Amino acid sequence: MVRYLELLEGNPSGVTKGAFERLCNYLETSDRHWVSDELRTELKTVRGELVIENYIRAEAEQLVDAQFGHIRRLSQMEKVDMQKIVAQRIQHYKEVNVCLIRRQLSTQTLPATKLLL
């Protein structure tokens, strides 16, 4: 979806600039804000702007090593590629969940003393 919108925005005869942002804004106002968060995070991933935290890299390395470390048919480079993919997915879903939690906290009317950040 993100790549399709980027392609359309890059086409002079296609969609006008800002179509992706307008879509995300529409989704936020139509009570589908989680889709908007997902699309924005996916755009960061596609553009290479998603920063993967060190502990997530370590977790991905452990997961891949535990599952595929003993398999000799996979080269070390293939395992490293799998680690990158797993780390990217973990970071992606963490970013989306953080957006959702922030949105929920911003809409709550609890006193500030009851919010634990």
pLDDT in tens, 2-61: 665 555 555 555 556 677 788 888 888 877 778 888 888 888 888 888 889 999 999 999
Measured between alpha carbons, how far is 79 from 47 in angstroms, rounded to an integer?
23
Supply the pLDDT for residue 55: 92
Q: Please report whether residue 62 resides in a domain.
A: yes
Task: Pull the structure tokens for residue 36.
Answer: 């908007």
Where residue 109 falls among pLDDT bands split at 50, 70, 90?
Answer: low
Distance CA 83, CA 70 (A): 15
pTM, to two decimals: 0.66
Residue in 54, 56, 55, 61 with CA at minimum distance from that of residue 76: 61
The total number of structural domains that make up the chain: 2
* pLDDT score recorded for residue 96: 87
Residue 45 lies in a domain: yes
Q: Is 24 left (phi over 0), alpha (psi -120 to 50) or beta?
A: alpha
In a domain, 1, yes or no: yes
Q: What is the pLDDT of residues 50-86, one digit of tens each?
A: 889 999 999 999 999 898 888 888 888 998 999 999 9
Question: Is the residue at 12 inside a domain?
Answer: yes
Residue-level pLDDT at 76 = 87
Q: pLDDT-derived band of residue 110, with 50, 70 and 90 as boundaries?
A: low
Is residue 55 domain-shared with residue 99, that is, in the same domain?
yes
Res. 103 pLDDT band, cuts 50 70 90: confident
Tokens of 39: 């699309």
34 contact partners, CB below 8 Å, separation of at least 6? 96, 100
Is 116 within a domain?
A: no
For residue 117, is it within any domain?
no
CA distance 48 to 86: 15
Question: Both 6 and 37 in a single domain?
Answer: yes
Which domain, by its residues, includes 92? 51-106
Q: How far apart are CA 90 and CA 54, in angstroms?
A: 12
Residue 113 covered by a domain:
no
